[in-house]
Structure 1
């Protein structure tokens, strides 16, 4: 008798579960913009959701602990003059968030640890360089203050937000860019484009180092992400409009490592990648399910694990970094599912009976410390993320202020008063020199008062002498 062989994997029985109703976030007016972004970003401190707002673009930022019904008057982050299209938390500072909008700008925000008491309208820095709407914003995984934006002008701009200046501009895409993903150390990024090409770009050389025409034959939008091993995982559509996924080796784009058809739904599949477990979660816009797969070195290379299903379709999805999961419950991932008016956290858990820390489930993961500075990366240095242990859980650091020092800032400001050289000031009367400061104004006034008193006293003495000498004269 033949016996079926079951593949051994510690993630084979991962199951998804919606949290209790009171642990969700209700009464959120999720944006109705027809843009294929996730509309949601999450980190171990905050949940951020792009929302409907009048008079421009806005998004909601909630501390994770502030679950339940959201007050309709809860302050928003406002500042964009057009709808917000994408948001992304900085991997090296949990209080820093980047946003981009139809108003052709990207902005970087500092979020306080406490709940907001008033709207935030002043970003740390405004990044202006695109001529059309900016649809993608993503941080460099290992270098401090490096941010990438992509717009409908087909431009990719890499910024140093510490100075507010563009470092690199790439014009290699002839059409709308659908997605961008950095590799693990940030030396390369891959893009998908409306021209149906998958590209691998080296930003510091400002060139495309590899490309593949139509990794998926359909004309619908594609998505691509780098895996831990340097391969590229893609989602797209077949010529018959079936959704499919693929795994590619960028050093040999001729044949896929794996290509798998899924279903005939028309929602774009948004992939979320867990580098520690080498798992991919696929969330289709308009779907009510989340499929998850494990990527291995054994055929068929992309192994289907299971599907989490719920009743309501999702508008978007947020994916928690590994350092934000609960290790005491063997939770390996947490997704935040956006519905029309609420957000539901979904936990992905490995069933284990032991209460001890599971070393095999939680290898050291990418921590919040950057591996290098922006200048080092720009000069050609590459570093993998600095890892931290998950034993005992992760404790988020306190708020650290991002300081922006724009170069030539003083030169760009109009001078309100002509500056004086040392020689000029030495040749001026002391009264005029004193008048150049607030303290000088005070001393000048006092000087004139004393002069007046002295004149009065002198006049009084002269008059007294005249009266005394008058009989003698």
Structure 2
């Protein structure tokens, strides 16, 4: 039986279903920043949403179980001095979240399992290296502690979060970077850019290995993601401003594998891809629908499945990793739709009558353990994600279990920013080095002024003593 027939028989009837009203997250003031990110990140433990805040940037992190109305005084994660533009959960630690902001910094946070009593304001590490706002942040899919950031300075920086140091900086983009997507094993990433080029980059060689000018002829922003097989799925616009999908082979960018026109709406389509099922879910900002397509190796390669529609337009969207779905309900994907004042989970389900575990719907999926250490990846090793079975569902480990894991660099390093001064000076970014030198000089000046004051007081005391003897 051919692969396409099996796929069609499994996913032809996938349907979307929003949860009951009391299972949504209400009274969330979603950010109004005009930035084309999803504003939402979710994992099997937590829901994180970028929210409106005065005097800086903040986001809300809720345990998934805390449904219903959110208390207006619920503690936020604060620390950025400008609006937060993007957030991303670490794939190898469900309590670690990265954020980036208009304030030119990126931060990595440890989120406790319990509800904090006050706002979380102290990140594990602050990553300073961009000169303009940082709008994109992405964890490496298989290597521990490797994090990518892209800023409006047109730079892409790859960091080792365990040490807080930049590993490499790529400056191949002459204009604003719209999005970045790692491939399945994290050996390459693709980018879309305001110069209308789609690029495939090898970060360890610091070079662009393939590029395509105008995969979509329209001038509006594009998005691109790697599929599991190594092809690139793109969303963009035609010359007539119609939304368009494309599938490309990066080893032969001349002709698309598939090109498909959609509609005339002007919202940028954000793609969310599931490598286990090869289904891509498309959510346009301002749309009230989610379309989903199946990618196969037989023509027409990109198959339309169905559309989930609702009344309210979406402000953003989060996508649950496969290990967070409910296998007992034949749920193959879950999206978290942001409204103006709430977040609504939407379940994508395959209708099956049996209550038994459906092996064909749930192949082993990417688990929470990294396949590589940072040094191994830097020295050229590649590895696919380490897979786990979904047969008994996935139970996230508690924070305390993660803290005793000696091999987790994030948990074994000191928890405050000040520990950065212990890093060898030669490996620090220049801006951070300047900041440390300036701080040392200020402390020296303070010490000198205090010494002068002590001398003056001692002189006064000796005169007083001499006068009374």
TM-score w.r.t. structure 1 length?
A: 0.85
Q: Secondary structure at the match of 1:380?
A: coil
In terms of mean alpha carbon deviation, does 20-29 or 114-123 score higher? 114-123
The 3 A distance-change label for structure 1 pair 7 and 171 is closer
Q: Is residue 2:115 matched to residue 1:112?
A: no
Q: Does 1:23 align with 2:36?
A: no
In structure 2, the residue matched to 1:40 is: 40
Report the CA distance between 1:118 and its aligned residue: 1.0
- Within 1, Cα distance between the matches of 2:282 and 2:351? 21
Q: Could you give the per-residue CA deviations for residues 89-111 of structure 1, whole angstroms, max 9, x where no partner exists? A: 00000000000000000000000
Task: Provide the residue aligned with 1:175 in structure 2.
Answer: 175
Residue 82 of structure 2 is matched in structure 1 by 82
Match of residue 140 from structure 1: 140
How far did residue 332 of structure 1 move?
0.2
Give the alignment's Cα RMSD to 1 decimal: 1.6
How far 1:116 sits from its partner (Å)? 2.4
Structure 1 ranges of 4+ moved more than 3 A: 5-8, 403-408, 410-417
- Aligned-partner Cα distance in 1 for 2:231–2:72: 44
Q: How far apart, in 2, do the equivalents of 1:78 and 1:344 lie?
A: 24
Q: Match for residue 66 of structure 1? A: 66
Q: Per-residue displacement from partner, 1:221-254 (whole Å, max 9, x unpaired)?
A: 0000000000000000000000000000000000
CA distance, structure 1, for counterparts of residue 424 and residue 295 of structure 2:
53
1:389-400 aligned at under 5 Å gives the runs: 389-399=389-399, 400=402
Counterparts in 2 of 1:47-446, with a 5 A limit? 47-399=47-399, 400-401=402-403, 402-403=410-411, 404=413, 409=422, 414=440
Contact 2:190 2:199 in 1 (8 A): yes
Contact kept in structure 1, 2:337 and 2:344, CA below 8 Å? yes
The Cα shift of 1:408 comes to 6.2
How far is the alpha carbon of 1:6 from its aligned partner?
A: 12
CA separation of 1:63 and 1:332: change in aligned 2, threshold 3 A: same
Distance 1:410 1:138, change over 3 A: closer
Which structure: greater helix fraction?
2
Secondary structure of residue in 2 paired with 1:333 = strand
Q: Distance in 2 between matches of 1:340 and 1:154?
A: 31
**Residues of 1 paired with 2:114 and 2:303: CA distance?**
42
Structure 1 spans left out of the alignment, 5+ residues: 418-473
Deviation of 1:160 after TM superposition, in Å, equals 0.1
Equivalent residue for 2:13? 13
Report the Cα offset of residue 392 of structure 1: 1.1
Could you report, residue by residue, the CA deviation over 1:227-286 in whole angstroms, capped at 9, with x for unpaired residues? 000000000000000000000000000000000000000000000000000000000000
Aligned-partner Cα distance in 2 for 1:398–1:6: 38
CA distance in 1, matches of 2:423, 2:349: 54
Per-residue CA deviations over 1:347-378 (Å, capped at 9, x if unaligned) read: 00000000000000000000000001001000
What per-residue deviation string (whole Å, max 9, x for no partner) do you get for residues 45-102 of structure 1? 0000000001100000000000000000100000000000000000000000000000
Cα distance in 2 between the residues matched to 1:45 and 1:365: 17
Bigger Rg, structure 1 or 2: 1
Cα pair 2:163 2:423 within 8 Å, conserved: no
SS state of the match for residue 10, structure 1? helix
User: How far 1:407 moved relative to its partner?
Assistant: 7.0
- TM, length-normalised to structure 2: 0.86
Q: Using a 3 Å threshold, how does the CA distance of structure 1 residues 261 and 6 change in structure 2: closer, same or farther? A: farther
Tell me, in whole angstroms, the C-alpha distance in 2 between the residues paired with 1:117 and 1:381. 43
Q: Per-residue CA shift, 1:7-54, capped at 9, x if unaligned?
A: 943100000000001100000000000000000000000000000001
Q: Which runs of 5+ in 2 are unaligned?
A: 404-409, 426-435, 445-469
